[in-house]
Copies of this chain bind each other. A is one copy, B any other.
Amino acid sequence: MEDLSPTPRSTVGRGSARARADRSELHAFLADALVAHLGVVVDGDPVVLPTAYALAVDGPDDGGTLYLHGSVAARWLREAPARTVCVTVTELDGLVAARSGFHHSMNYRSAVVQGTARVVTDPAERALALDAIVDHMVPGRSATLRPATRKELAATAVLAVPLRESSLKVRSGGAKDDPSDVARGGWAGHVPLRRSAGRPVADDDVRTGVPDDVLARAAALA
């Protein structure tokens, strides 16, 4: 399955010139970004919460799977199962200063995934998903850690959201000013923004050096 936006619901409406239809581009973006915003409906009202996630390109769903986790006591997780959720992942890439207020904008990449969340119950898939969420933060780290305890697993809910209904929008570059504003002169352009990492900070109780996985993660984001 190569095309995004296969259903009317996930078809990008406004700004469709910014929509991308390449699933590998969606996967690359989701591998690069760090935070998702999960939307669920609770008592008829929308609730949007930030959360960590992991991408499983070869997950159980055609087109890939997003894994999210949370406390079994969290209301949004109790409400989410077997309901449609919306998972939106956005990275801000710049501020666009135009010659009119109307054409001010932001450069960004944003994926919107709609689908029915499945509560993962299979122990092997749960373990894979939880490791993937740790490795999404710090690649390779899960292999260096002790296995999860029974108590930790019992306290953790894992959700799988299929990537089948997804869209990716990308805006980049400068302002799209009206010709009459360009003719009047004046400055327009953009301020590039990116995420940057500082040096790893050890906890007070640490007696060993920073491990390679954490160093590599910080260097990749530096």
Contact = CB atoms under 8 A, between A and B. Distances in A.
B92 A195 contact: yes
Interface string A22-52: 0000000000001101111101111111101
A185 to B, nearest CB: 6
Contact of A198 (B35, B44, B155, B191): B191
- Most chain B beta carbons < 10 A, residue from A52, A73, A74, A104: A104
A188 B203 contact: yes
A173 B124 CA distance: 32
Contacts of A38: 48
A214 B189 contact: yes
Contacts of A130: 101
Contacts of A146: 99-100, 181
What are the nearest 7 A-B pairs in CB distance? Answer: A39-B46, A39-B48, A192-B198, A174-B203, A48-B88, A50-B90, A37-B37
Given A95-B137, A99-B145, A192-B201, 8 more contacts: A39-B48, A41-B41, A49-B112, A50-B88, A97-B213, A185-B208, A187-B209, A191-B217
7 contacts: A39-B39, A49-B88, A50-B88, A92-B195, A102-B148, A187-B210, A189-B200
